[in-house]
Amino acid sequence: MRISDLISLHTKLIPSDTIYFSERIREFCKRPYPGHPNGCPNYNKNPYCPPKSPYRADILKKYSIFRLVWVSFDFETYMKRFRVKHPDWTLRQLANPLYWQNAVKRILKEYIKTFQYDELLGAGSGFLNAQSLESAGINVFVTLKRNKIPYEIRPKKQIIMVALLMSKKRYGERLLKHARRKGFISIGDFSNNDGAGNKFCLWCGKIITNRRHRYCSDDCFKKFYGEWYSLFSWDSIRDRIMEKDKYTCLKCGRRLNPFQLEVHHLIPKCRGGEDLDWNLVTLCKKCHNEETRKLLREMADERRKILPAGQKTLTTFMGVAK
């Protein structure tokens, strides 16, 4: 029996006023439960647990975008299948988290990696090296209820494991800046599939419920495309590189006006070079022409080496060499 077959993945952008904070939630760690009469053994020991971990009501002012990410585990089906395998076990033995919890957390971690965020509060203290929602003072049940997410307090059918992702900027702004560092250029390079069969808007991050493919509205399309153009269009790249090089030719050292300069690819585009900052330098038109002629001579020499003896040029049809 694979745990992954019993899990469904979900995500939802939520308003900040639906996140319910209470200092009393942090006191739950001291309450006794089976096998632990003094409460959680990590209390006052683990840096991600109270009282060492801070009360985090500050996130409501620090961040503007909040996303709940959760997995729904079909606990009822799991128990039925597990009982067939272990018919003599008690209900407590069958429900022991040691047999399913780590697998569910691992799937949630992989799902979270598909999103861009600044900080998270996890499903349990130390989850992805972060505080848990409860140790931060968030009442998870009230927060889920306010966002109309079904749950069971003492689960018999479905177990919900949830994390909260927080960002200072819109999803699209973070995505584009991350893409610029990774070298993505075309809008087609951006995937908006969340791994659970849903598509989310590339700008605002909301799940797309209409027949659109990449944006939930025309407004989001205009904002995403405008941000993309400012980062990836050749005009904006050219201006950025020249400003970085202080409008100075890096070969002859002359400082000139922008219309007297060119942006040069260190690795030519015909050889796989891309419009990335590390591959672009500022040259004056004279130096740029010299570099271009040098490249053309090298390419001509390379062609001659592959020609059959006695043939001077490549035979072409419609501009394609045979």
Does 51 sit behind a cis peptide bond, omega within 30 degrees of 0 on the bond before it?
yes
What is each CA distance from 240 to 127, 153, 247, 250, 263, in whole angstroms? Answer: 39, 54, 10, 15, 10
Written in H, E and C, the secondary structure of the chain is CCHHHHEEEEEEEECHHHCCECHHHHHHHHCCECCECCCCCCCCCCCCCCCCCCCCCCHHHHCCEEEEEEEEEEHHHHHHHHHHHCCCCCHHHHCCHHHCHHHHHHHHHHHHCCCCCCEEEECCCCCCCCCECCCCCECHHHHHHHCCCCCCCCCCCEEEEEEEEEECCCHHHHHHHHHHHHCCCCHHHCCCECCCCCEECCCCCCECCCCCCCCCCHHHHHHHHHHHHHHHCHHHHHHHHHHHCCCECCCCCCECCHHHEEEEECCCHHHCCCCCHHHEEEEEHHHHHHHHHHHHHHHHHHHHHHCCCCCCCCCEECCEEC
* Rg of the chain on CA atoms, in Å: 28
Residue tagged 């400012």 (tokens): 230
Distance, CA of 39 to CA of 50 (rounded, Å): 12
| CB 31 within 8 Å of CB 43 | no
Each as own residue / partner, the long-range contacts of residues 215-218 (CB below 8 Å, 24 or more positions apart, any chain) are none
Which pLDDT does position 314 carry in this prediction? Answer: 52
CATH code, residues 237-304? 1.10.30.50
Percent of residues, the chain, with pLDDT higher than 90: 29
Residue 220 in this model has a pLDDT that exceeds 50: yes
| CB 191 within 8 Å of CB 201 | no
Residue 196 in this model has a pLDDT that exceeds 80: no
- Note the pTM of the prediction, 2 decimals: 0.59
- The residues facing 165 across adjacent strands are 67, 120
pLDDT digits (tens, 9 = 90+) for 273-303: 888 788 899 999 999 999 999 988 888 887 7
CB-facing half-sphere around the CA of 138: CA atoms within 13 A: 29
pLDDT band at 318 (very low <50, low <70, confident <90, very high): very low
Structure tokens at 67: 């996303």
* Residue 304 burial (10 A CB sphere; 0-12, 13-18, 19+): exposed
Each as own residue / partner, the long-range contacts of residues 306-314 (CB below 8 Å, 24 or more positions apart, any chain) are none
Q: Please give the average per-residue pLDDT across 94-117, as a whole number.
A: 88
Which pLDDT does position 198 carry in this prediction? Answer: 72
Domain residue extents for the chain: 3-168, 172-232, 237-304
Nearest to 262 by CA among 243, 282, 287: 282
Chain-wide mean pLDDT for the chain?
83
Q: Please give the average per-residue pLDDT across 74-84, as a whole number.
A: 92
Nearest to 150 by CA among 134, 162, 168: 162
Which pLDDT does position 309 carry in this prediction? Answer: 62
Higher pLDDT, 300 or 312: 300
